[in-house]
A and B are shown apart, each in its own frame.
Chain A
């Protein structure tokens, strides 16, 4: 159990990659608070699943774009368990569309959730982590920040900003032993990527050198590593977990 006695907070935890991270963290002995926005039944069944496996998890409803809610959530977890010492900023949305037709609201919603949510929760935990000289922050980015797709100006901008933010915050907190890293997933089999997968079909798996989609657990394992003592000297990095997709090799 690599995360025994740790207190983790995972945003966007009820489904997809976040759900995988909640399960993996709980398996490794952490107490995991996770946030969901609308998927209450998915959140409840995840808590049950973790509990049945002997882990500890609790679900909290929260809109990550609301700064004041972030601090409330962090304070509530501290009151119930202990200060959050692992934060995973995973909550993210897509609102794809060609740029010339992109509505300001579609731009803003993606930036507010993906980047703004990351800011809100980092802001809520960073000083306490710095003072405790203990903490891990893991931001879920995307390879789409660097390996861009048409229709994703808003999403790419938000994820590219997360990468830059990760490096900048890492520098500020490094002296206090708090690490800040990002994970950039490739194509992962989740609800979010379903539309693209349905459209592109087999083409996607053909593009991936490992010839399979990633599973949420592939990302979760990387998150466990970055949260674990083994990764204590790693900070400001963006770890691509994509089966080789970003290598850009032509199919062989």
Chain B
């Protein structure tokens, strides 16, 4: 079982390849879309590369849920994620750090949850479960 730092290094190297960015640009808190410029097809590529790099299977929508709040109209109210929506988020993305998001849960800020650190934690959980 690789250490968290080893996983982070591999995740970082994967992002360098998938997003065509320099390694120096990547920080644990970097957001994939805002900081690293990822587009939708890049998310697919990242999943693909992570699967190969770590020898794991990542079911569609598990690491990067596409429409997490579409299941229930009560998940979002007036552009903000409700308490019900937040608990859905905790359940679907236990590997994401939502503490900052909770303070001002604008639905449009959801992409800020997708960070390098989040991927690292997800992979770590995945490898532990195996």
Contacts and interface: CB of A to CB of B under 8 A. Distances in A.
Q: Point out which of B20, B39, B48 has the most chain A C-beta atoms below 10 A from its C-beta.
A: B39
B46 to A, nearest CB: 11
Q: For this complex, into which size category does the number of interface residues on chain B fall? A: under 10
B44 A175 contact: no
Contacts of A127: 41, 44-45
B130 interface: no
Interface of A, secondary structure class, is helix
A147 to B, nearest CB: 34
B20 A130 contact: no
A172 interface: yes
A173 B45 CA distance: 12
A112 to B, nearest CB: 26
B70 interface: no
B40 interface: yes
Nearest to B17: A131
A133 B20 CA distance: 10
A176 interface: yes
A40 B78 CA distance: 63
Interface string B13-47: 00000001000000000000000000111101100
Contacts of B40: 172
Contacts of B41: 127, 130, 172-173, 175-176
Contacts of A131: 45, 48
Contacts of B20: 133
A131 B52 CA distance: 14
Contacts of A173: 41
Q: Point out which of A172, A173, A175, A176 has the most chain B C-beta atoms below 10 A from its C-beta.
A: A175
A130 B20 CA distance: 12
A173 B41 CA distance: 8
Contacts of B48: 131
A34 to B, nearest CB: 28
Interface string B42-75: 1011001000000000000000000000000000
A175 B39 contact: yes
A3 B39 CA distance: 29
Contacts of A130: 41, 45
A173 B40 CA distance: 10
A172 B48 CA distance: 17
B82 to A, nearest CB: 32
Contacts of B44: 127
Interface string A123-151: 00001001101000000000000000000
* Across the A-B interface, the 6 shortest Cβ-Cβ residue pairs: A175-B39, A130-B41, A131-B45, A172-B41, A176-B41, A130-B45
Given A127-B41, A175-B39, A176-B41, 12 more contacts: A127-B44, A127-B45, A130-B41, A130-B45, A131-B45, A131-B48, A133-B20, A172-B40, A172-B41, A173-B41, A175-B41, A175-B42
15 contacts: A127-B41, A127-B44, A127-B45, A130-B41, A130-B45, A131-B45, A131-B48, A133-B20, A172-B40, A172-B41, A173-B41, A175-B39, A175-B41, A175-B42, A176-B41
Interface of B: 20, 39-42, 44-45, 48
